[in-house]
Amino acid sequence: MPTLEQRHTEDVTLQFQPWPKQARASLSPARYKAAGGGRGGGKSAWIAGECWDLLVSHPGNVGFLGRADLEDLRRSALKEFFQQDKDAGLIIQHHQTQMWVEVETTDPNHPSRLYYGELKDPSSQLGVNLGFFAVDEGYEIPRQSWDNLCGNLRHRLPNGSFPPFFGVLTTNPAPCWIMDLFPVTREQQRAVREGRWANPNYAYFPFLFSDNPANPPNYGEILKDAYANDPVSYNRMVLGLWDNMVTGLVYPFRPYHRWKAREPGARLWRPGVPVSLAIDPSGGAAPYAVLAIQEVGPYILLVDEFYGVGQHASDEAVLDWVNSRPYARDIADAICDPAAKSSIQRLAANGLPVRGLSRPKDIRGQILGVKGTMVQNPQTGFAPFLVDENYCTNTCLEFGSYAYRVQKESDRVAGKHAPETPEDKNNHLINAYEYWVREKRPTGDVPIYSRKAPDSRETAGYYRLLEA
């Protein structure tokens, strides 16, 4: 076997060879690059290839590869990263406990290192100096996690120089913070082409299944059939469109519903203000969903969420989560699906003030009630409904995915009205909030045009919600 020095008598050849649209993204000088679009576009291969290029081409570089959930990362981009070394053999060491990989570079004296991990915690990844970072499925992570990684781009190479600093991500279209930074809509991409895009540091590159020569010949038909009865998902997962994000959705989820921190570490949660929980237990294979809500004046603040799947979809996991929160002692009420009697009893036995929804469930009434909280106030620019986008990422994703059932073609031809019943998916946290609204803000219980009492200024009112 050749020694390390012998291996570097020739240039290192990387296994990943980008196809044209991937190459366009790789060659872009923009510091922050997003590769998005539908499924099957080759996003995982591209982001793994970017990691290899930045590690090998800049000896002594340090990078980070992450996703919201570590196990999802292992099955996607990290798996692709190792796959791309199958024939090259550039990996020197993989420390699975500390989660880093050391690789050979063009300088045998200076290997590079890639750290990897999860990003669901908004305060994660604060302390490592990086030359680059890569985020798989960026729509899943909080904005603050992205900002923290941007602040880590300060690594200096062994020769004293700085590497080209890059932050790259892959993403499917979703109503999230990515739309606030990257030119993802068709109009924004047109502005880029015409030189009208204001921030050249942020670039977006659409990857579609039709662009990827590695897909099997019939992959497009398979993908279209999979989402044929779901127009919202079809636009995103097949066509890769970010435009018209509210078309077909049950709730008009807009950017002004997402509360954005102005300072690092800022939260929508207000210390000392009572917290109520909205709970939709698992009941089996479904996720277990809990929202933490505060009421400040007319505003309903969704300040935190629990979204448990698999072994974490349990009452015990919820109790552990509650006890870990800074507002654990401030929980004054908890509204739960009344059908989940065993969960109500178990949570109550452990000290939570939980009770079942006292009003009868009413899908139409629940939808009208929630929509009432989402109406924008033209004076403030906000709605009573505000979601902390860093701590309620799954809530944002559900509101951007919860859609009405598609009308059958035979019913449409017969002149029947489109169904007003939502699809029973992408709605676990939404159901929890609907129970809370049904209990706390039922439609028709108070005059809709009644003037609200003036804010006492003893607690933070709406005019101070944006302060860090």
The rounded mean pLDDT for the chain is 87
Q: What tens digit of pLDDT does each residue of 100-131 get?
A: 999 999 999 999 999 999 999 988 777 789 99
Give the end-to-end CA distance of the chain in Å, rounded to a whole number: 59
Percent of the chain with pLDDT over 70: 88
pLDDT tens per residue, range 165-189: 999 999 999 889 999 999 999 999 9
Domains of the chain: 4-238 (3.40.50.300), 255-443 (3.30.420.280)
Asked whether the predicted pLDDT for residue 289 surpasses 90, the reply is yes
Residue 134 pairs with which residues in a beta bridge?
65, 168
- Written as six digits, the tokens of 352 are 């939570």
Q: What is the tens place of the pLDDT at every residue in 295-330?
A: 998 899 999 999 999 989 999 999 999 999 999 999
Q: Which residues pair with 172 in a beta bridge?
A: none
How high is the pLDDT of residue 9?
36
Give pLDDT tens digits for 203-257.
Answer: 999 999 998 988 998 999 999 999 888 888 888 899 998 886 656 789 989 999 9
Q: Which segment of 57-61, 264-268, 269-273, 355-359 scores lowest on mean pLDDT? A: 264-268
Residue 339 scores a pLDDT above 90: yes
268, β-bridge pairs: none
Which band of pLDDT confidence, cut at 50, 70 and 90, is reported for residue 1? very low
pLDDT for the residue numbered 418: 52
Q: What is the spatial distance between Cα 373 and Cα 368, in angstroms, rounded to a whole number?
A: 9
Lowest mean pLDDT among 105-114, 260-269, 354-363, 409-418: 409-418
How many CB atoms lie under 10 A from the CB of residue 349? Answer: 10
Q: What is the pLDDT of residues 408-425, one digit of tens each?
A: 655 555 555 555 688 888
